[in-house]
Structure 1
Amino acid sequence: MVTETYPPEINGVAKTLQQMVVGMLDRGHAVQLIRPGQGADDHGNRTHAFDAEEIIVPGAPLPGYNGLRFGLWCKRRLLRHWSAIRPNIIYVATEGLLGHSAMAAARDLDIPVITGFHTQFDHYSRHYHLGLLEPAIRRVLRRFHNRAECTLVPTQDLRKKLEHQGFGKCRVMSRGVDIRLFSPERRDPALRAEWGLGDQDIALIHVGRLAPEKNLPLVIKAFEAFRQKLPNTRCVLVGDGPDREKLQREYPDVVFAGMRTGEDLARHYASGDLFLFPSVTDTFGNVVLEAMASSLPVLAFDYAAPREHIRSGISGFLAPYGDAAAFCRAAANLAARAEMIPAMGRSARGIAEGLDWSNEYDRLEALFLSYVRRPLGREVAA
């Protein structure tokens, strides 16, 4: 497994990669995790009870993303590692220098590679004043992924889109959610009181990086449309990022909860009432499933995870992709029918209960084994 982000870094790619590692370890496979160091004291750690081997490679800070690093070119080092202990298959999760060096080393050694399309970097360019580079970035991504046996994507919609753009064989590996961690039972009246809310008041919540590509101004517009009908509504932003200082300065009425993890994060989800997901750049949106598991209906655009899992009008509302006005109208309509929100949340929880990670582990294992070229030992094959 080759990745440029991994916990304790907090983002959807890191969480997904950790789940993939844990799933393969739980099924008895040996896993080697290759990633950049996350600071001077990072020499690798224990990933799971079965102890995945970690190889730490040089990295550098990622511009615009404090706390994240990208890997440097290290083909020779990977050739040495993989010549000494040859892996059956290599999964490359990120398309930076580390991912390209892993791809080059694997091709020299004739080891099958599967890539993951976790981030739409071509779309991100629009939000960092690099829109003119979007076609060039897409060509680089396409050339990289087309060198692999196949590319894993989280939804059927994204598979069709990428294949239409000339990406080679794409296969869907969806996402799951930990319904024991993310649960409505973690709702905390004391936390809601800190937000200035009573039992009958509404908290609109968003969880994610506070960055340009997350379309956060639309969260504020939807919040304003909602509280025109229900003035006691509060908006809570959970997360951190480069836009936090600016947003706090411009929107003093918004609660900024900062970065939260584990049970504390789950408590924040469950203490909300309606989840707002205004992104138009996410390849999936793991936070959508976490919100649903916490019994929150989701207001989102009709794509990615919301399209896959939200039943509009029953477990949330879907606005046409990119239609900000429709998004805000849906928020106002929900405010007018706020008595529906608890029932919609229960419906969302019911859907999330069927999205267990173990099903995805089984599919991922079968896919990996299907691309292994070298004969496996009888015990492993069994």
Structure 2
Amino acid sequence: MKIVIITDAWKPQVNGVVNSLSKIAEGLTQKGHNVEIIGPNQFKTIACPTYPSIRLALFSKKKLKKLLFKIKPESIHIATEGPLGLAGRKICIQNKWRFTTSYHTRFPEYIKARIPIPLWLTYKFLKNFHSAAHKTLVPTISIKKMLESRGFKNIDIWSRGVDQNIFKPVKKKEESSYTKPVMVYVGRVSVEKNIEDFLKININGSKIIIGDGPDLRKLKHKYKNVIFLGEKFGKELANIVASSDVFVFPSLTDTFGIVLIEALACGIPVAAYPVSGPIDIIENGVNGSLNRDLETAIKDALKISKEECIKKAKQYTWQSSTNQFESSLTPIKIL
């Protein structure tokens, strides 16, 4: 099948959406499909306000339409609700093509963290955007229930995976210069990730932040006792995570959190708030700790067995994720 995925989030961006789509495109190709990714890199772009590393496609509809008619896809998936997603949605509707969408980000909460826009307004926009889709894919049951409570329809689960050839326990932890326990966060360094809830905790040990983002400079200046390592990838990232004692996930707005299952695959327990994403992955007291007091969650997570963490991570494979995505696809035309 010739499949087109339209996304506003694509390389060189570094985030969960890009990671997920890259893995799915790879998996679908291995299964014999022809996959084309249409991203902002194929259009004129401007920097996203308050987040300059993200580029937004400008006036994309005309070129996008030409690309789609040239490719002649048999199935279309629209992954994001940005300028490209909006243009793709409009083209599909005008041509009476069926398509699927996915919900990766709690966009209303992200916007509200930066601009005082009411949640009901952005959820209304999102509900309208996804209402035209044959199916909308979400990563967890809790997100499915939340969106259905807001009137969203035709929602299917599309979970995620972890590469356990990269993310795995270290055979023997090397002696570290960091004071134990070592607490690590991996992800975007930005306001919507709620990192300061972790950084401001007065707790013994070493706090390590891995990632980049618009708040990096400010937080480095404010928290002198925190170790900021910048972006890390692949085996280097996995080794740092696997050498830590607890993975801290302070976000209140993620829909899944691939970094959670990557940490579990390394045998590292997770400390998080009991919110969407963590509540779907973490079994409290088994492979991590969920608590409205993050400091308590960290202390409790340090007591968790790494074997249970690894066991849980084995439930998440990219092959299974690819199969879920493939089964959700719909032909653009009904024969």
- Please list, as runs of the form range in 1=range in 2, the aligned pairs for 1:215-294 lying within 5 A after superposition: 215-222=194-201, 224=202, 226-227=203-204, 233-294=205-266
CA distance in 1 between partners of 2:101 and 2:298 (Å): 38
Query: CA separation in 2, counterparts of 1:215 and 1:186?
Result: 33
How far the C-alpha of 1:19 sits from its partner, in A, is 1.2
Instruction: Tell me which stretches of 4 or more aligned residues in structure 1 moved more than 6 Å.
Output: none
- Other-structure match for 2:139: 154
> CA offset at residue 157 of structure 1?
0.9
Which structure has the larger Rg? 1
Q: Give the corresponding residue for 2:125.
A: 140
How far apart in 1 are the matches of 2:232 and 2:220? 17
Aligned partner of 1:27 in structure 2 is 31
Deviation at 1:110, TM superposition (A): 2.2
- Which residue pairs with 1:202 in the alignment? 181
Please give the residue correspondences for 1:26-175 in structure 2 after superposition, counting only pairs within 5 Å. Answer: 26-37=30-41, 56-128=42-114, 130-175=115-160
Distance 2:172 2:136 in 1: 38
Given that 1:34 and 1:57 are in contact with CA atoms closer than 8 Å, whether structure 2 keeps it comes out as no
> Residue 289 of structure 2 contacts residue 300 of structure 2 at CA under 8 Å; is this kept in 1?
no
Tell me the distance in 2 between the aligned counterparts of 1:154 and 1:186.
32
Q: Specify every segment of 5 or more residues in structure 1 that has no aligned partner in the other structure, as ranges.
A: 38-55, 228-232, 376-382
Q: What SS does the corresponding residue of 1:184 show, helix, strand or coil?
A: coil
User: Residues of 2 paired with 1:327 and 1:103: CA distance?
Assistant: 40
Q: TM-score, normalised by structure 2?
A: 0.93
Aligned to 1:318: 290
CA 1:92/1:157 → structure 2, altered by over 3 Å: closer, same or farther?
Answer: same
- The number of equivalent residue pairs is 331
1:170: how far off?
1.0
Letter matched to residue 366 of structure 1: S
* Greater share of helix: 1
Deviations 1:65-120 (A, max 9, x none): 23211122322223223334421111111111111111111122222111111111
Letter in 2 for 1:29: H
Q: Distance in 1 between matches of 2:87 and 2:323?
A: 29
Aligned match of 2:168 in 179, 183, 188?
Answer: 183
Superposition TM-score, scaled by structure 1 size = 0.82
2:25, 2:334 → 1: CA distance? Answer: 21
State the Cα distance separating 1:160 from its structure 2 match.
Answer: 1.1
Is the 8 Å Cα contact of residues 236 and 257 (structure 1) preserved in structure 2? yes
1:23-65 per-position Cα deviation (integer Å, ceiling 9, x unaligned): 111111111110112xxxxxxxxxxxxxxxxxx1222111222
Distance in structure 1 (CA, Å) of the matches to 2:246 and 2:261: 13
Pairwise CA RMSD of aligned residues?
1.8
* Counterpart for residue 48 of structure 1: none
Question: Partner letter of residue 292 of structure 1?
Answer: L
**Larger RCO, structure (CA 8 Å, separation 6 or more):** 2
Q: Residue 188 and residue 64 in structure 1: after superposition, are their counterparts in 2 closer, same or farther (change >3 A)?
A: farther
Which residue is 1:18 aligned to?
Answer: 22
Q: Which residue of 2 aligns with 1:47?
A: none
Match of 1:52 in 2: none
Whether the 8 Å contact between 1:87 and 1:111 is mirrored in structure 2 is: no
Q: 1:177 to 1:304 in 2, by over 3 A?
A: farther
Contact 1:152 1:173 in 2 (8 A): yes
1:331 Cα deviation after fit:
2.8
Change (3 A) 1:277 1:24: same
1-structure distance, mates of 2:95, 2:80: 20
Please name the residue that 2:327 is paired with: 366
Give how far 1:141 is off. 1.1
3-state SS of the aligned residue for 1:166? coil
Structure 1 vs Structure 2: percent identity of aligned residues?
Answer: 31
Q: CA deviation at 1:187?
A: 6.7
1:329 corresponds, among 296, 306, 309, to: 296
Unaligned runs of 5+ in 2: none
Residue aligning to 1:380: none
Give the CA deviation at 1:139. 1.4
Q: Distance in 2 between matches of 1:65 and 1:96?
A: 14
In structure 2, the residue matched to 1:306 is 278
Asked whether the 8 Å contact 2:135–2:328 carries over to 1, the reply is no
Kept in 2: contact 1:187–1:267 (CA 8 A): no
Secondary structure, counterpart of 1:91 in structure 2:
strand
Work out whether 1:352 is the aligned partner of 2:331.
no
SS of match in other structure, 2:53 = coil
C-alpha contact (below 8 Å) 1:204/1:275 kept by paired residues:
yes
Q: CA deviation at 1:294?
A: 1.1
Q: Structure 1 residues 206 and 104 mapped into 2: Cα distance closer, same or farther (>3 Å)?
A: same
